[in-house]
């Protein structure tokens, strides 16, 4: 096919694709340059391979290109079904707040604060605020971390590794004041 004929058909096809885009996207303005840049080489390559069409074939090609926005959804539907079948199923549920690495870092921060003698509630509030999550979320991650790593409930340091009698006394005083 001659380049001039191919360009005429391509302009009609791209116009149809753009109209189809507007219809699918609910009136949103299509990225004309991007669509043209992506589709034009594909259409040119395909059309230049075929022989010069007769007048009737050319007219039929023009009509098909003009109606491509109507035909595109029905042409793409079977292909999309095939692609969708190959995709893994959606795991569903709410997205996780933390990646595993960030959750571990937050829990280690919490363990450090607890080890320093900070109350669990206060440590949880601090870490939650620092990471931009709720206290309940941080508490849930902390409980999961404790179970997975068999962390002791009481992380107050012992005198053998630097804990002091004052820290123990302060903790007892806080408990009685509740």
- Higher-confidence residue: 56 or 168? 56
The C-alpha atoms of residue 43 and residue 8 are separated, in whole angstroms, by 11
The C-alpha atoms of residue 72 and residue 23 are separated, in whole angstroms, by 11
pLDDT tier for residue 147 given thresholds of 50, 70 and 90: confident
Contact 50, 1 (CB under 8 A): yes
Contact 174, 119 (CB under 8 A): yes
DSSP 8-state code for residue 96: P
How many alpha carbons fall within 13 Å on the CB side of residue 167?
A: 17
The pLDDT score that the predictor gives to residue 42 is 79
The C-alpha atoms of residue 141 and residue 132 are separated, in whole angstroms, by 14
The pLDDT score that the predictor gives to residue 133 is 92
The C-alpha atoms of residue 143 and residue 7 are separated, in whole angstroms, by 65
What is the per-residue pLDDT across 41-76, written as a single tens digit (0 to 9) for each?
877 787 778 888 888 888 888 887 777 767 666 766
Q: At what angle do helices 32-49 and 3-24 cross, to 10 degrees?
A: 140
The pLDDT score that the predictor gives to residue 101 is 92
b/e code 12-43 from CB counts within 10 Å (16+ = b):
bbbebbbbbbeeeeeeeebeeeeebeeeeeeb
Contact 9, 35 (CB under 8 A): no
Q: At what angle do helices 55-66 and 3-24 cross, to 10 degrees?
A: 20
The pLDDT score that the predictor gives to residue 105 is 93
The pLDDT score that the predictor gives to residue 136 is 93
What is the per-residue pLDDT across 83-127, written as a single tens digit (0 to 9) for each?
667 777 777 788 888 888 999 999 999 999 988 988 889 999 999
What is the per-residue pLDDT across 12-43, written as a single tens digit (0 to 9) for each?
777 777 777 777 666 677 677 877 777 778 77
């Amino acid at each position: 096919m001659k380049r001039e004929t191919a360009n005429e058909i391509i302009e009609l096809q791209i116009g149809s694709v753009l109209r189809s885009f507007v219809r699918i996207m609910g009136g949103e303005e299509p990225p004309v340059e991007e669509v043209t840049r992506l589709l034009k080489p594909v259409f040119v390559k395909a059309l230049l391979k075929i022989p010069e069409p007769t007048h009737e074939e050319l007219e039929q090609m023009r009509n098909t290109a003009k109606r491509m926005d109507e035909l595109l959804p029905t042409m793409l539907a079977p292909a999309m079904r095939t692609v969708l079948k190959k995709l893994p199923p959606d795991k569903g549920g709410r997205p996780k707040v933390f990646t595993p690495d960030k959750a571990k870092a937050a829990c280690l921060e919490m363990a450090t604060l607890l080890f320093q003698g900070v109350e669990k509630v206060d440590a949880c509030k601090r870490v939650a605020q620092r990471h931009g999550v709720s206290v309940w979320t941080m508490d849930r991650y902390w409980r999961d971390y404790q179970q997975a790593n068999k962390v002791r409930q009481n992380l107050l340091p012992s005198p053998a590794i630097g804990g002091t009698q004052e820290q123990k006394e302060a903790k007892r005083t806080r408990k009685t004041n509740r």
